[in-house]
């Protein structure tokens, strides 16, 4: 079904810049369109608030808060916000367009995912939420619909429309926000939220990825809410027998009904996920699996054996026997020892020699085991542990700390372990040493003074300083040249964590009044707009109007609006007025004639003269009955 039919925004250019091409999604607060930025010639997603909500100031504030919140999150797994603005009654966000599908699409099509694939998706989601939590925000509406999986396999978190500052008390006044299947008990009971509500929702999402179903089911939202408050999330292995117990524990920790028992934020849950991967022998994953791999893996294919099978002997020795089929290529249980000849007529000397050889091999085997295995252990997982906890754990495993390095980290708290060398799970000699890398917390940087700097140069300087260019908002300025920075948010000289996004306000230059070109011939209208410093785009569809064919029927923005030099005005050309047959009203009373002509789509003007001041009969009409005239035009009736 074509979702763009009857949509008044499709084909329109918003704010003289964003051409709306197609509608791609409709939500409770806004509609999302695929659009083209005519200035930068790039495809993006345009999120436009429903007009009915745009009249509500609180909704507009909340909508704009989304833009500001996400713009601060310069993270590769968060859908980027480019711009925010208004055009008449429309309030919009210009956002990154992600070609692909949602996690909900994958689950609906494929059902349960393999454990490795589920963790491959969960890790970048937690990385994105961890950045949000570190910045002081909670998503509050995590669900598979808000996890986007690009065609290139990248995973991004979308729809921060419900974000709220961590230290803000949330009062929903009886209205519970978010999807009921993913709400934490404290959201339902108290209406408040901190990062642990996102942890809870991610635990539910993980359960759904592992089993293909939601853990809560009911005939009404009230039943599901009751289960959140009174029942633990069941272990996923109850629905999919054979899933590792470590995954059951991970889901249980994330979805604990008592918030204090859960990991404190997404970064802490991410550390638990990585530890679980190591325990399960899945290694670590920096990049998510592409959608095809995510959807196509078999769960059983990801299980690993607790004890690996020993390698076969390099040169298997055939047994000496009767030549039966069972004697071919039979090997000793010791693997590397030649099998014993089965003949009973052996001398006692031979038997003693044989026993001695076996004992010797067993002794050598024990020695080889000690040399190859007994002297070695594995580096334990230490991510997110304090330095003291890491030292204790290493000491328990017979390992020392060689030295401690420090580095900045946006996701791991100051004083906690960021990594080890060798890495967790690596084979290492007992009594050997491990290098710990401990977080110094986020690096701080002063925001440079960018006033008067061109946008491209400003972005480059922010990156050079270790900051990220954030959302760009444009405004008119008589003092700052078009395309240069007016100010930053936060202000120049403010200290921020390295990697923080800095919002830029860029000058549109002096405002230009859009001239009224409706009713003009198209070429004349183009010339007038060019003289005003504006560009022109002509809509592909023509419309009927009161204006003659080839004249401008309407324009966007309308006349009198302020635009920046170089902005685009979209013109819609008239295909002429609609011609309608004029009714014959001669001889009718004035009231009858007026009603008949108005019902046919005409305006009516009366000509009474001196002789018709007291008359009530139509003696003539400006266009004869049966002829045609433009709909909406005026028919003059003569009264005598």
What's the pLDDT score for residue 148?
A: 94
The residue that leads in pLDDT, 28 or 178, is 28
Structure tokens at 68: 């500001």
What's the pLDDT score for residue 160?
A: 72
**Chain centre distance of CA 306:** 37
What is the fold of 579-639?
A: Trypsin Inhibitor V; Chain A (3.30.10)
Q: Indicate the SS3 state at residue 470.
A: strand
Is 479 catalytic? The answer is: no
Residue-wise pLDDT tens digits, 472-497: 888 899 999 999 999 998 999 998 87
DSSP string, 387-445: HHHHHHHHHHTT-EEEEEEEE--SSS-TTBEEEEESPTT-EEETT-EEEEEEE----EE
Alpha carbons 66 and 75: distance in angstroms, whole number: 15
pLDDT tops 80 at residue 637: yes
What is the CATH number assigned to the segment(s) 377-439? Answer: 3.30.10.20
The CA angle 190-191-192, to the nearest 5 degrees, is: 90
Helix pair 245-254, 266-279: axis angle to 10 deg: 170
Q: What is the pTM of this model?
A: 0.52
Which of 303-317, 399-413, 437-451, 521-535 reaches the highest mean pLDDT? 521-535
Out of 149-163, 198-212, 566-580, least confident range: 149-163
Per-residue confidence at 180, pLDDT binned at 50, 70, 90?
confident
Residue-wise pLDDT tens digits, 244-261: 999 999 999 999 988 889
Alpha carbons 496 and 258: distance in angstroms, whole number: 34
Q: Is 358 exposed, middle or buried (0-12, 13-18, 19+ CB in 10 A)?
A: middle
Which CA distances in Å does 368 have to 338, 357, 547? Answer: 18, 16, 97
Alpha carbons 538 and 378: distance in angstroms, whole number: 68
What's the pLDDT score for residue 435?
A: 94
Alpha carbons 89 and 512: distance in angstroms, whole number: 20
377-439 and 511-573, same CATH topology: yes
One of 87, 141, 410, 588 is an active-site residue; which one? 141
CB 113 within 8 A of CB 210: yes
Structure tokens at 487: 């100010």
Among candidate residues 305, 194, 207, the one with its CA nearest the CA of residue 250 = 207
Per-residue confidence at 321, pLDDT binned at 50, 70, 90?
very low
What's the pLDDT score for residue 443?
A: 78
Of the options 3.40.50.720, 3.40.50.970, 3.30.70.2740, 1.10.510.10, the CATH number for the domain spanning 100-302: 1.10.510.10
Of the options 3.40.50.970, 3.20.20.70, 2.40.50.100, 3.30.10.20, the CATH number for the domain spanning 511-573: 3.30.10.20
Which CA distances in Å does 435 have to 329, 390, 397, 409? Answer: 48, 11, 15, 17
Which CA distances in Å does 234 have to 197, 228, 280? Answer: 18, 11, 21
Residue-wise pLDDT tens digits, 84-122: 888 878 889 899 999 889 999 999 989 999 999 999 999
pLDDT tops 50 at residue 171: no
Out of 238-242, 306-310, 515-519, 575-579, least confident range: 306-310
What's the pLDDT score for residue 192?
A: 72
DSSP 447: P
Dihedral sign for Cα atoms in the order 18, 22, 25, 28: positive
Of the options 3.30.1330.200, 3.40.605.10, 1.10.3470.10, 3.30.10.20, the CATH number for the domain spanning 444-506: 3.30.10.20
Q: What is the mean pLDDT of residues 414-442?
A: 87
Q: What is the mean pLDDT of residues 309-325?
A: 34
Which value, to the nearest 10 degrees, does the dihedral of the CA atoms of residues 212, 215, 216, 219 take? 30
What's the pLDDT score for residue 506?
A: 92
The CA-based diameter of the chain, rounded to the nearest angstrom, is 153
pLDDT tops 90 at residue 636: yes
Residue-wise pLDDT tens digits, 573-615: 999 988 999 999 999 999 999 999 999 999 999 988 776 677 8
Per-residue confidence at 341, pLDDT binned at 50, 70, 90?
very low
Structure tokens at 435: 């290098």
What's the pLDDT score for residue 349?
A: 52
Per-residue confidence at 288, pLDDT binned at 50, 70, 90?
very low
Alpha carbons 393 and 444: distance in angstroms, whole number: 31
What's the pLDDT score for residue 374?
A: 56
Structure tokens at 473: 């908002």
The answer for residues whose C-beta is within 8 angstroms of residue 524's C-beta and 6 or more apart is: 517
Per-residue confidence at 225, pLDDT binned at 50, 70, 90?
confident
User: Where along the chain do its domains lie?
Assistant: 1-97, 100-302, 377-439, 444-506, 511-573, 579-639
The answer for residues whose C-beta is within 8 angstroms of residue 403's C-beta and 6 or more apart is: 433, 435, 436
What's the pLDDT score for residue 410?
A: 67
pLDDT tops 90 at residue 222: no
Among candidate residues 442, 423, 410, the one with its CA nearest the CA of residue 383 = 423
Locus of tokens 């100051």: 414
Residue-wise pLDDT tens digits, 391-401: 999 998 889 99
Out of 59-73, 149-163, 280-294, least confident range: 280-294
Among candidate residues 38, 37, 9, 14, the one with its CA nearest the CA of residue 24 = 9
What is the CATH number assigned to the segment(s) 1-97? Answer: 3.30.200.20
Per-residue confidence at 161, pLDDT binned at 50, 70, 90?
low
pLDDT tops 70 at residue 371: no
What's the pLDDT score for residue 583?
A: 96
What's the pLDDT score for residue 127?
A: 94
Structure tokens at 393: 């754990």
Residue-wise pLDDT tens digits, 124-135: 999 999 988 988
What's the pLDDT score for residue 623?
A: 94
Structure tokens at 304: 């690993």
Among candidate residues 469, 480, 536, the one with its CA nearest the CA of residue 508 = 480
DSSP strand pairing (535-538 vs 400-407): unpaired
Mean residue pLDDT of the chain comes to 80
The residue that leads in pLDDT, 339 or 127, is 127
Alpha carbons 430 and 433: distance in angstroms, whole number: 8
Locus of tokens 């470590």: 246
What's the pLDDT score for residue 238?
A: 92
Helix (H) or strand (E) holding 95: strand 90-95
The residue that leads in pLDDT, 533 or 444, is 533
Structure tokens at 301: 């294919």
pLDDT tops 60 at residue 200: yes
């Amino acid at each position: 079904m074509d979702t763009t039919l009857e949509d008044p925004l499709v084909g329109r250019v918003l704010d003289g810049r964003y051409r709306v091409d197609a509608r791609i999604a409709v939500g409770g607060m806004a509609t999302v369109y695929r659009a083209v930025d005519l200035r930068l010639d790039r495809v993006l997603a345009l999120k436009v608030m429903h007009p009915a909500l745009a009249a509500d100031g609180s909704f507009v504030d909340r909508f704009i808060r989304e833009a500001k919140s996400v713009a601060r999150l310069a993270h590769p797994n968060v859908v980027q916000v480019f711009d925010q603005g208004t055009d008449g009654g429309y309030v919009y966000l210009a956002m990154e367009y992600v070609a692909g599908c949602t996690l909900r699409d994958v689950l609906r099509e494929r059902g349960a995912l393999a454990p490795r694939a589920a963790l491959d998706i969960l890790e970048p989601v937690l990385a994105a939420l961890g950045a949000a939590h570190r910045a002081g925000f909670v998503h509050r509406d995590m669900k598979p619909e808000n996890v986007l999986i690009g065609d290139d396999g990248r995973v991004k978190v979308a729809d921060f429309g419900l974000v709220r500052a961590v230290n803000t008390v949330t009062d929903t006044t009886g209205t519970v926000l978010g999807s009921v299947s993913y709400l934490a008990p404290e959201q339902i009971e108290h209406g408040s939220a901190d990062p642990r509500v996102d942890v809870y929702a991610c635990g539910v999402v993980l359960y759904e990825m592992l089993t293909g179903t939601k853990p809560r089911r009911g005939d009404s939202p009230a039943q599901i809410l009751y289960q959140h408050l009174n029942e633990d999330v069941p272990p996923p292995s109850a629905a999919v027998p054979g899933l590792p117990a470590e995954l059951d524990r991970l889901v249980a920790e994330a979805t604990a009904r008592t918030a204090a028992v859960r990991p404190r934020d997404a970064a802490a849950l991410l550390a638990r996920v990585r530890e679980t991967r190591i325990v399960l022998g899945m290694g670590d994953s920096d990049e998510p699996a592409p959608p095809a791999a995510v959807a196509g893996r078999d769960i059983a294919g990801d299980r690993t054996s607790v004890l690996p099978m020993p390698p076969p002997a390099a040169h298997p020795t055939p047994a000496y026997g009767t030549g039966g089929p069972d004697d071919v290529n039979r090997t000793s249980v010791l693997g590397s020892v030649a099998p014993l000849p089965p003949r009973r007529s052996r001398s006692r000397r031979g038997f003693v020699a044989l026993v001695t050889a076996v004992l010797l091999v067993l002794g050598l085997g024990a020695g080889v085991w000690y040399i190859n295995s007994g002297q070695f252990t594995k580096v334990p997982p230490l991510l997110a542990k304090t330095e003291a906890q890491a030292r204790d754990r290493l000491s328990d495993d017979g390992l020392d700390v060689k030295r401690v390095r420090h580095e900045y980290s946006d996701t791991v708290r100051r004083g906690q372990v960021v990594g080890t060398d060798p890495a967790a799970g690596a084979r290492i000699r007992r009594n050997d040493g491990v290098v710990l890398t401990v977080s110094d917390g986020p690096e701080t940087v002063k925001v440079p003074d960018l006033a008067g700097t061109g946008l491209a140069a400003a972005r480059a300087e922010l990156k050079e300083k270790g900051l990220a260019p954030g959302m760009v908002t444009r405004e008119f300025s008589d003092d700052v040249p078009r395309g240069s920075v007016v100010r930053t948010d936060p202000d120049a000289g403010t200290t921020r964590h390295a990697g923080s996004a800095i919002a830029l306000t860029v000058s549109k230059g002096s405002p230009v009044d859009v001239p009224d070109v409706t009713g003009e011939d198209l070429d004349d209208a183009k010339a007038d707009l060019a003289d005003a410093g504006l560009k022109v785009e002509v809509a592909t569809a023509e419309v009927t109007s009161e204006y003659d064919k080839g004249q401008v029927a309407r324009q966007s923005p309308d006349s009198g609006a302020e635009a920046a030099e170089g902005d685009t005005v979209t013109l819609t050309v008239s295909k002429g007025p609609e011609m309608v047959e004029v009714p014959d009203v001669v001889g009718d009373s004035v009231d009858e004639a007026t009603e008949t002509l108005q019902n046919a789509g005409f305006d009516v003007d009366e000509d009474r003269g001196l002789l018709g001041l007291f008359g009530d009969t139509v003696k003539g009409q400006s266009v004869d009955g049966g002829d045609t005239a433009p709909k909406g035009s005026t028919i003059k009736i003569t009264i005598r």
